[in-house]
Amino acid sequence: MSLRIGITGAAGRMGRTLVQAVDASDGLELGAALERPDSSLLGADASELAGLGKRGVTLTDQIATVIDDFDVLVDFTAPAATLANLAACREAGRAIVIGTTGFSADDETVIAEAATAIPVCKASNFSTGVNLCFKLLETAAAILGADSDIEIYEAHHRHKVDAPSGTALSMGQVVADTLGRDLSKVAVYGREGQTGARDRDTIGFATVRAGDIVGDHTVTFAADGERVEITHKASSRISFARGALRAAAWLGSREPGLYDMQDVLGLKA
Ligand code: NAD
């Protein structure tokens, strides 16, 4: 029997890509498609909107009316919408995959609390390549970190509303954790004017927003005489969608808990 996937933000950039990816996946079917209450697309066929033929699942803003139509909800929307969908999933005992970024520390607490009751998989980046980079960053930080200046560069399309990207922050967190540093104390998010010389312990972030860039990330470890750069470039959203659906299939049979893509890929030592 197919696993039924609910997709929120189904008319958005990631939502449409997820609808396409479900359609192309064996063992998965689209169970429900949600959009925000003021969307002009409510009632439209979600698959047709994603460039496919009609499949009969129409966009709704009422999660309660479709809660029995999916096994796992995949949510790439905005923080407030995700928290409302999380609450609905918790009440109904549904698993949820969260791809939304830009949560506050309080939001993270709410998500962790909900994960005591339902399976939740949350990742700032669901691509397999980026999750491999997290692993490579651990090794690079352990070997080079103490003697290097560490800088994280990210670039995304002009529509992205949060900065630095959730992926850049996760990369910083991996490096900081490996080096025993507190990211909230060592992160430098912008430089301008008389900044003074660089403090070796800081981790710098640089953000570019331009055109239709899907997502570029580079972490530089710059020592005296050499530097190592670990780079990932996404050329299509399909890598995030495939990863999120892999997480949904994995999550379908888990106990309640807060998981991430490293768990799904078995990358946790
Ligand atoms: P988008 O603006 O194209 O799509 C978001 C969609 O959510 C829109 O269609 C919007 O109408 C809808 N939405 C907003 N409120 C809603 C609500 N209450 N109920 C239902 N739908 C609602 O944005 P996007 O580029 O698809 O990105 C969405 C989110 O996913 C962002 O936070 C982005 O940073 C994140 N993202 C994460 C990954 C990852 O791998 N984790 C990858 C890409 C994007």
State which of 7, 8, 14, 35 you would mutate to test the pocket of ligand 1, scoring each by most atoms of that ligand within 8 A of its C-beta. Answer: 14
Q: Looking at the structure, tell me whether residues 177 and 245 fall in a common domain.
A: no
Report how far ligand 1's centroid is from the alpha carbon of 251 (Å). 21
pLDDT of 224: 96
Region label for 69, one of left (φ > 0), alpha (ψ between -120 and 50) or beta (otherwise)? alpha
pLDDT of 139: 96
| Distance spanning both ends of the chain, measured CA to CA | 33
Q: Looking at the structure, tell me whether residues 135 and 89 fall in a common domain.
A: no
pLDDT of 267: 85
Among the atoms of ligand 1, which is closest to the Cα of residue 157?
25
Domain count, the chain: 2
Closest CA relative to residue 18, chosen from 177, 111, 126: 126
**Residue 230 lies in domain:** 128-234
DSSP character string of 88-104 = HHHHHT-EEEE------
Report how far ligand 1's centroid is from the alpha carbon of 260 (Å). 18
Report how far ligand 1's centroid is from the alpha carbon of 250 (Å). 22
pLDDT of 259: 97
pLDDT of 114: 98
Q: Looking at the structure, tell me whether residues 21 and 74 fall in a common domain.
A: yes
Query: What CATH number has the domain bearing residue 136?
Result: 3.30.360.10
Catalogue the active-site residues: 156, 160
Residues within 6 Å of ligand 1 by CB: 8-9, 11-15, 34-36, 39, 76-78, 81, 99-102, 123-126, 240
| CA 182 – CA 192 distance, rounded (Å) | 23
Q: Looking at the structure, tell me whether residues 95 and 134 fall in a common domain.
A: no
Closest Cα to atom 37 of ligand 1 = 99
Flag whether the pTM goes above 0.75. yes
Closest Cα to atom 12 of ligand 1 = 9
Are residues 101 and 107 in contact, defined by beta-carbon separation less than 8 angstroms? no
Q: What is the full per-residue pLDDT of the chain (269 aa) written as tens digits?
A: 799 999 999 999 999 999 999 999 999 999 999 999 999 999 999 999 999 999 999 999 999 999 999 999 999 999 999 999 999 999 999 999 999 999 999 999 999 999 999 999 999 889 999 999 999 999 999 999 999 999 999 999 999 999 999 999 999 999 999 999 999 999 999 899 999 999 999 999 999 999 999 999 999 999 999 999 999 999 999 999 999 999 999 998 899 999 999 999 998 86
pLDDT of 252: 83
Contacts of 236 (CB under 8 A, 6+ apart): 17, 214
| CA 51 – CA 49 distance, rounded (Å) | 5
Instruction: Report the DSSP beta bridge partners of residue 221.
Output: 150, 228
Q: Looking at the structure, tell me whether residues 202 and 241 fall in a common domain.
A: no
